[in-house]
Amino acid sequence: MKTKEKKPKRVKFNEEHLHRPKPQMTWRNIWLQRELIIMSVPLLLYMIFFRYVPITGWAMAFQNYKPAIRNVWDQEWVGFANFQNLLNMNTLYGQTFLRSVRNTFGQSILSMVLGFVCAIGLSLLLNEVRSVGFKRIIQNLSYMPHFLSWIIATGMIATALSLPQSGGFINIVLHDWLGILKEPIAFLNHPKYFWGIVAGGQLWKSLGWNTIIYLAAMTAIDPQLYEAAEIDGANRWRKMWHITLPSIKATIVILLIMSTGYMLESGFEIQYFLGAGVNKEVAENIDIFILRYGIQLRAQFHLGTVAGIMKTIVAIFFVASANWLAKILGSERLV
Partner 1 sequence: MSEKKIKFKQVKIKREDGTVVLVNKRRANLSLENVVFTTLNTSFLIILAAVMVYPMLNVLAVSFNEAVDTTRGGIYLWPRAWTLRNYEIVLNMPTILTAFYVSVARLIVTVITNLIPTTMLAYVLSRRHYLFNKPITIVFVVTMYFNAGMIPNYIFMQQLGLLNTFTVYWLPGMISAFNLIVIRTYIRSLSESLIESAKIDGASEFRIFAQIVTPLCMPVLATITLFVAVGSWNDWFTNFLYNPGAAHLTTLQFELQKLLSNTASAGGAAAAATQAAQAGFGQQVTPMSIRSTITVVTALPILVVYPFLQRYFVNGLMLGGVKE
Partner 2 sequence: MKLKKVIALLLASVMSVSILAACGSNNDGAATTPSTPSTDTTSVGTVDEAAVEEITTGYVPWNFSPDNPVTISIWTVTNSGAPSADNIIHQLLLDELGVTLDMEMTTTDNQDMRISTMLAGGVYPDLIGSTHNDALMTAGGAYLRLDDYLASGNWPLLREHVEPHLRRLSYRAGEVEDGFYQFPNYNRWYGPEIKMEDWSAPAFWIQMAVLEDAGYPSLDGISLDEYFELIENYAAKYPTIDGVPTIGFTLDFSEGRQWSVTNNALQLQGGANWGGAFPDLHTGEVRHYITDDYARRWAHKLMEINQKGLLDPECFTATADQFQSRLASGAVLGFPHQRWAFSQAQDSLRAEDRRERTYVPVMPTFDNIPPHYSTGQLMNIHQGYGISVDAAAAGRTEMLLDFLELMMTEKWQKILFWGIEGQDYLVGDDGLYYRTQDMRDEQHDPIWQQANQARAFRDNLPKRQGLWPDGNADSAGFQRSEFFAGLTEYEQNFLKSYNKLVWADFFNDAYPTPSYYPIWQLHGMLSNDANLANVQLDEVQYPAFARLALATPDTFDGLWDDFLAQVALIDTQLYLDEINALIDDIVANE
215/9 Cα distance (integer angstroms) = 25
Q: Which residues pair with 254 in a beta bridge?
A: none
* Binding status of residue 91 toward partner 2 by CB under 8 A: yes
With residue 287 as reference, give the H or E element that holds it.
Answer: helix 286-291
Sole binder of partner 2 in the list 9, 22, 34, 70 (CB under 8 A):
70
Closer residue to partner 1 in complex, CB, 114/172: 172
Distance between CA atoms of residues 230 and 239, nearest Å: 8
In the complex, the smallest distance separating the C-beta of residue 65 from partner 2, rounded to whole angstroms, is 9
To partner 1, the closest distance from the beta carbon of 42 in angstroms equals 9
Pattern 35-74, partner 1, x by CB under 8 A? xxx-xxx-xx-xxx-xxxxxxxxx-x-----------x--
Confirm or reject binding of residue 307 to partner 2 (CB under 8 A).
no
Q: Which does 278 bind (CB under 5 to 8 A by kind): partner 1, partner 2, none?
A: partner 2
Q: Minimum distance between the CB of residue 198 and partner 1, rounded to whole angstroms?
A: 16
Residue 104, number of CB atoms within 10 A of its CB:
24
Which residues 39-68 are close enough to bind partner 2 by CB under 8 A? 66-68
Q: Fill in the per-residue mask, 250 to 279: x = in contact with partner 2 (CB under 8 A), - = not in contact.
A: ------------------------x-xxx-
Q: Do 62 and 80 meet the contact criterion of CB atoms below 8 Å apart? A: yes
Which DSSP string corresponds to 3-65? HHHHGGGHHHHHHHHHTSPPPP--HHHHHHTHHHHHHHHHHHHHHIIIIIGGGGGGGGGGEE-
Answer for which of 69, 227, 241, 321 binds partner 1 (CB under 8 A) is: 227
Which residues share a beta bridge with 51?
none
What residues numbered 74-113 form the site for partner 1, per CB under 8 A?
Answer: none
Contact with partner 1 (CB under 8 A) among 69, 113, 117, 129: 129
**Residue in 215, 244, 249, 248 with CA at minimum distance from that of residue 139:** 215
Where on the chain is the footprint of partner 2 (CB under 8 A)? 66-68, 70, 90-92, 95-96, 158, 162-163, 165-166, 186, 188-191, 274, 276-278, 280-281, 291, 295-301
